[in-house]
Structure 1
Amino acid sequence: MDNNRTFLSRRDMLAGAGAGIALSTLAPGSARAASVSPFTIVINQSPWFDSFRKTVELYEKETGNKVELDVNPFAGSLEKQRNSVRAAKGQYDLLIMNSGWFAEMYFGGFVEAISDIDPGFKLDPDVYSLGETIYFDPVKKTMTKNGKLMSMPISPLIPLLYYRGDLYKEAGLKAPETFAELEANARRFNNPPRMYGIVQRGARGPHTVAYDFYPYLYGFGGSIFKDQSAGDYSVMLNDEKGRAALDYYLRLAREAGHPKTASLDQAEVIQNMVTGKAAHTMIVIAAWSQMDDPAKSAVVDKVEFAPTPHVQGVPTAPGLGHWLGGIARNVPDDRKRAAVEFLRWFQTKDAQVAAAKFGAIPINAAAYRDPISQERQFRWMKPLAESLPHAVNIYQFPEASEVIAILELGLNRAVAGEITSVDALNTMADQIETVMAKYNYNTGKLPPLR
C-alpha cells in the first residue's frame, strides 16, 4: 500500500450533502464572538477568494469586529508570509497557508497553536482534519491528532473531473471512472478549434502544472516518495507508474487537448471550460460556482462533476490542495486573540452554510447534511464526498517548495515538448533526491528509466 496516501478520519467523511440556511435566516447570536481588536489576514487571490471575502464581511456584520484582508498573487502571499514571520514584529496575524508550505510554518515554529492562545478553544467535531494536517507535534515533528491544534481549515480543496453533461447525455455516455474511459471520451469530443477534448494546465508556476499532475501520478499508482509517513523519502517518481502517468498526461494534451497546453494556467483552463471550448478538465473544486455563473459562463447547467479517474485497481487519488489558517507567533496578543475569535466563528455550521451559499467549499461536515445537496447548484457535493476520503497529502516536510519548483520546471518542459517524458522524470528524480539528501532525509533513487 502507498503510505503517502492520507485518508481522512471517519468524521472527515462527508455524510450526505449540503446545508441550506439562507443568510437571512442565521440564528440571532449564532456568531457568539466576543468584541476584539482588528486584525489582518494575508491571503492569495484565487477562484475561492470571493466567497471567503463575503464570509469575512458576514463575520464583520454579525459581530461588529473588523478584519483587514491583504490580498496577493499566490507567490506574493507566500513571500509576504515568510518575511512577516521572520521579522521581530509580524505584520500579518492570520496566515492563509497552502498545502505546499504550511509544513514550513509548523516546523519553523512560526505559527502558534490555537490551543496555546486560547486553552478554552474547542474544535467543532465536524470540522475536517484533512489528514490531520491541522495538528502538529513539535517534538516528534509529525502531523498527528496527538499534537497541538495549529490551524483551522479554510478551504478543503481537491480537484474533481469537470465534464460536459449535456454532451454525455446526447452520446449516451456515463461519467468516466478510468483513465481509459476519459481518454476515449476526450478523443470523441475533440474537434479543434471549436472544442478540445480536454484542457489541462501545463504552465510553470509556484504550484501549477505539478498540482494538476498529482491525480494522474497517484491515480496510476505512482508516487513521488516511497513512504513519507515512515520517513522513507526514496524517490519513486521515475518508476514505470510515473512514466505511464506522464506519458498519458502528454498524450492527452497533444492528441485530444489544447495546442498551447504548456502556457495554460488555471485561469485559462477555467476560461476554456466556461466558454464551451472544453469537454473535460480536472481542476480544483473551488471553481465550481463559475460554471453556473451567467455573467461568466456559456455552459450554465451543462457541466457535471465526478471523482478524478484512475487505472483499474487503484482508487481515485486527488491531491490535497487545501488551505489552512494559522496564527503568527510574532504578533501582539490582542491580535492573536482576535484571530482566534474569527476562527471560532468561522468553523460553525451556520458560518459554513453561508460560505457555501457564497460559493465556498465548507470545512464543516454538518454543512453537508442538509437537503440542499439535492439542489442542482450543489451537484458537486456528492462526488466531493466520494473523493475526499482518498485525497493524498503530497508533502509532509517543510522544504516542499524546493521539490515543487523542480516538478514545475520538469513537467512544463515535457508538456512543451522540450524534453521527453523519460528525460523529465529522470532529471526531476535526480534533483529531488539531491534536495532530500541536502536536508539529511532518508532518501535514495531508482535506476534511471531507459
Structure 2
Amino acid sequence: MSIPQSGGGVIEHFDQLAGLMESGCKPKDALRIGTEHEKFGWLEDSRMPLPYAGERSISALFDGLQARFGWKAVREGDNVIGLHRNGANISLEPGGQFELSGAMMADMHETAAELRQHLEEVQAIAGPMGVRFMGIGAAPEWTHAQMPVMPKGRYRLMTDYMGRVGTHGTQMMYRTSTVQVNLDYASEADMVKKLRVALALQPVATALFASSPFFDGKPNGHRSWRSRIWRGLDDSRTGMLPFAFEGDFGFQAYVDWVLDVPMYFVYREGKYINALGQSFRDFLKGALPALPGELPTLSDWADHMTTVFPEARVKKYIEMRGADCGDEAHINALPAFWLGLMYDQTALDAAWDLVKGFDAQTREALRVAASVSALKGEANGIRLESLARAAVDLSRAGLKARGLGEEVYLAPLEASLESGEVQADRFLRLYGTQWQHSLTPIYEATSL
C-alpha cells in the first residue's frame, strides 16, 4: 500500500482534482515502467512469518539494507516503516509483506535488473539471519492471529474499518501478496483506452498469475484466493468500474467516483487522523468533522486516491492490480505482459477490439471465473484460456515492435498456455502427489 503523498498546496479550484491526473500525461517517447511486488518473509527453522522487531526481523533487515546498500530510512514516529533509494521504495504491507516499489524504468531489461539486484540485496542480509521470502498470492498456512502487525497508523485505522464494511478485508491486508505494474498515459484519451483494456483484461492476468490455491492450511476451492478476497472487501472502493466504459468517461468521471468513496484518514505532521467514513466532498467545503474548518491540500487528495482499490487504478499513471505474486520469472512477466499491450498502439487498438464487445456482466463474470478456475474458467461463452492466448500473442507482437528483445519475459505465460497449467494448478498437483497433502514443501517451492 502507498506511503503518504507529498507536494501541493491547498486545493483552491475543483478542477485541480482532475488536474492532478492530467499532470501525469507524458510524451509517448517518455513513457516509463514501474513494477511493485510484495512477498512474505518467513523464518527457516519454524516457517513462521517474519516479525517486525527482534534479532531476526523486518527491523533487522532494514538496518542491514541501510548499512550495506545505502538505503535511507522512512520513519513513522520512532519506527522505520520503509526505505528509499534512487527513486525506489521498500515499504511494508499490514502483515509484514515486504514490498519493492521500483523506480520508473525505460524498458523490461532495466526492470528485470532492478528486481534481481533487490532480491540479491535482501538475500545477502536475510540469508545469514535464517530468513527467506516466498512469492505467492496468499499465505498458505498462517492464521490471522499468527500474522505480525506493522506499526503504521494507516493500517490501524483500516483494520477497524475493514471489519465493518466487508467480509474479507483483513485477509487482504494481512495475508495476501500481489505484483503490479504502473504504466503511463500520453493524454486523457490514451488513459481512457488503456484503462478500459486494463479492466477488461484483468481477469486474464488473474488467471495467468494465479498462485493462491491454499489458505488456512488447505485447498480453498480457488486458483486465486487473493482475487476472491478482493470480491468480498468493500464494494464502494473495489471492482471493475463499469462507469469507465460509458461514452463520456474521462478524468472528471474518475474524480467523481473517488470523491464518493468514504475516506479513511488525513495525514498531518507524521500522524494519521481518523476520518473513517467521512466525505472528501465535505473536506472541500471545509466541513470535514475530523478537521473542521480546514481545507484539503493536493497531498490529501493524492492520499485519498490511494484508498480506492479497483482492479485497475488511476493516479498520475495506471496501476494493473489483478495478479497474484509469484516467482521471479512471473514478477517480470507481469510488467512485460501489460507493457506489450499498452505501449504499442497497434497492440493496444487490437486489444480493445478483443474486449470492446464485453458488457459489464461479462467482465464481472470473467473476474469470478478467473479466481475460481484460472485458465479453465469460462463466462458467457468466453473461455479464459482462449482470451489469454490472444492477449499474450498481442503482447508479444507489441513487445517485438519495440525492438528491444523484451518478449523473452513472456516465457512463463507462454509455458502456462502450452501446458494449460498455471502456478496454482502446479501447486495443487504437487500437493496431491509428491507433497502427500502437506504444505511444508510450498515454502521451498515459492522461495524467491
Does 1 or 2 have the higher relative contact order (CA < 8 Å, sep 6+)?
A: 1
TM-score, reference length from structure 1: 0.31
TM-score, reference length from structure 2: 0.31
